[in-house]
């Protein structure tokens, strides 16, 4: 049983996979490959065509937009993901972004290192507290719920939530205010956090009109998928100071230079949200165990979960 591993996984997870399967890292013998574990590569029809005996695709994480699930079903290739395992790490990244934006952390470090700031606590770098502010979540899944707990309990923030799946009872259980529309969240929040999967409904969900609905003092945080935001519209909004700032761990094209990186009120990081030792081990172990069980014909829950 051979498994193609597209990118590195946690060393413990790798050792487990190696003990039960043959790991291959190229397509020199494509007919041997029965399983594939992907983190970031596109698994489309063209790739499946190269692997005639592929039976299982394991997604190393929760996002499923890189795998053509419809094509896989046509070929009777089973697909699974590893949801909820990286929620704590991504939630902490959201909070980190909010703090970094609020205190001009990146600009302060750069200016101080470059000696363009020669005084202590300059007024140009005056920040603001999170405490008492309003944060709005668009998408209220596992990651958002983790972040809500930190921000509501730790920073005493007022929390708004908007999601097709969020009913009043669920909002009450989380101790947050349920918004009826996307624009309710955008117009009322000091911080807007995107916690959504990428699909036909969310592609370019945030565009010029949505950015114009935000407060001029508000910050936008995206740890989901780059294509959820119209990046050209966001560039204009940031350049013209229509919003105060933004932070994104994701871009529409990755890895790729973006002119967003040149803006002083924008923070861009290379998809680090789930890149912690703890999250990688949880995701890797679950993904590998599922792959081993599947290849040994043991039943697993193959439903892809968002």
In this structure, are strands 219-222 and 245-248 parallel, antiparallel, or unpaired? parallel
- Smallest CA-to-CA distance from 81 within 54, 62, 55 is with 62
Task: Report d(CA 34, CA 50) in Å as an integer.
Answer: 12
Task: Report d(CA 169, CA 250) in Å as an integer.
Answer: 32
Contact present, 14 and 25 (Cβ < 8 Å): no
Structure tokens at 237: 């909004």
Query: Is 225 an annotated catalytic residue?
Result: yes
Q: Which of 7, 22, 129, 254 is catalytic?
A: 254
Q: Which of 225, 231, 282, 289 is catalytic?
A: 225
Structure tokens at 42: 């596109």
Contact present, 72 and 51 (Cβ < 8 Å): no
Query: Is 271 an annotated catalytic residue?
Result: yes
Query: Is 298 an annotated catalytic residue?
Result: no
Task: Report d(CA 295, CA 139) in Å as an integer.
Answer: 34
Task: Report d(CA 230, CA 122) in Å as an integer.
Answer: 34
- Just list the catalytic residues: 225, 254, 271
């Amino acid at each position: 049983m051979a498994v193609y591993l597209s990118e590195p996984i946690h060393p413990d997870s790798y050792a487990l996979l190696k003990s039960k399967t043959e790991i291959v890292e190229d397509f020199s013998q494509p007919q041997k490959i029965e399983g594939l574990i992907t983190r970031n590569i596109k698994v489309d029809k063209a790739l499946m065509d190269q692997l005639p005996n592929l039976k299982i695709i394991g997604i190393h994480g929760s996002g499923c937009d890189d795998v053509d699930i419809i094509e896989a079903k046509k070929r009777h290739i089973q697909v699974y993901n590893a949801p909820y395992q990286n929620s704590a790490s991504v939630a902490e990244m959201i909070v980190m972004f909010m703090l970094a934006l609020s205190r001009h952390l990146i600009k302060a470090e750069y200016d101080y290192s470059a000696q363009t700031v020669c005084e202590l606590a300059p007024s140009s770098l005056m920040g603001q507290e999170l405490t008492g502010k309003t944060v709005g979540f668009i998408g209220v899944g596992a990651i958002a719920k983790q972040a809500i707990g930190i921000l509501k309990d730790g920073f005493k923030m007022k929390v708004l939530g908007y999601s097709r799946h969020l009913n009043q009872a669920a909002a009450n259980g989380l101790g947050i205010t349920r918004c009826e529309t996307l624009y309710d969240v955008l117009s009322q929040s000091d911080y807007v956090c995107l916690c959504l999967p990428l699909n036909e409904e969310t592609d370019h969900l945030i565009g010029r009109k949505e950015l114009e609905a935000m407060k001029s003092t508000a910050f936008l945080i995206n740890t989901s998928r780059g294509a959820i935001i119209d990046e050209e519209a966001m560039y204009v909004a940031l350049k013209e100071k229509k919003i105060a700032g933004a932070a994104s761990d994701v871009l529409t094209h990755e890895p790729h230079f973006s002119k967003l990186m040149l803006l002083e009120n924008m923070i861009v990081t290379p998809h680090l949200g789930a890149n912690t030792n703890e999250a990688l081990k949880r995701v890797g172990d679950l993904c590998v165990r599922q792959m081993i069980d599947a290849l040994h014909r043991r039943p697993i829950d193959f439903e892809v979960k968002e």
